[in-house]
Amino acid sequence: MAPKTRWLTEEENKAWKGLTLMQFQLFALLGRELADTGLSFQDYVVLAELSDRPDNRARLNELGRQLGWEKSRISHQVSRMEQRGLVEKVRCDTDQRGWFIGMTAEGRAAIASAAPHHVATVRRCFVDLLTAQELRVLESITSKVLAELPEP
């Protein structure tokens, strides 16, 4: 028979719920602040991911992998962004199934104008509140957890 459930202790529960709540609130805040610039938080992370690349473009599935999104989500998201002129799709020459997603001039302008305030908020409401040690511990936690995640 199955072993009796080990419920979370009060400390464990507090940490887990606190984490959930913090993330949710931070995202909400960042989304609200980005709204002024005409970008959603999702738009932002896609553009940021593209910006990180030397040639400012990526395959859909790479984007999905980096962001941890399913292919369907990234596909819908990119289509919407393409409609709005933030990104463009270019057929991949070596694989006729695939596309490269590149930033348009408009996309570049959008993230360039949104980034300073966005980063300032991430600093003010998160990064700058943490000590160097807390930052290290956090990094160790996330990499450990991510490494142990079961495949979907």
Partner DNA sequence: CGAGGGTCGTTGATATATCCACGACCCACT
Partner DNA sequence: AGTGGGTCGTGGATATATCAACGACCCTCG
Q: Which residues contact 110 (CB under 8 A, 6 or more apart)?
A: 37, 38, 39, 43, 47, 86
- Contact between 47 and 103 (Cβ < 8 Å): yes
Residue type for 108, please?
R
Query: Which of 90-98, 111-119, 132-140, 143-151 is the region at the interface with DNA (rule: CB under 7 A)?
Result: 90-98
Q: Does 126 bind a second copy (CB under 8 A)?
A: yes
User: Residue 92, SS3?
Assistant: coil
Question: Which of 28, 35, 90, 109 is the binder for a second copy (CB under 8 A)?
Answer: 28
Judged by CB, which is closer to DNA: 91, or 136? 91
Judged by CB, which is closer to DNA: 3, or 152? 152
Task: Tell me the C-alpha distance between 102 and 39, whole Å.
Answer: 17
Q: Does 36 bind DNA (CB under 7 A)?
A: no
Q: Does 129 bind a second copy (CB under 8 A)?
A: yes
**Token pair of 25 as six digits:** 């609130």
Residues within the interface to DNA (CB under 7 A): 28, 31-32, 35, 40, 42-43, 59-61, 64, 69-73, 75-80, 89, 92, 95-99
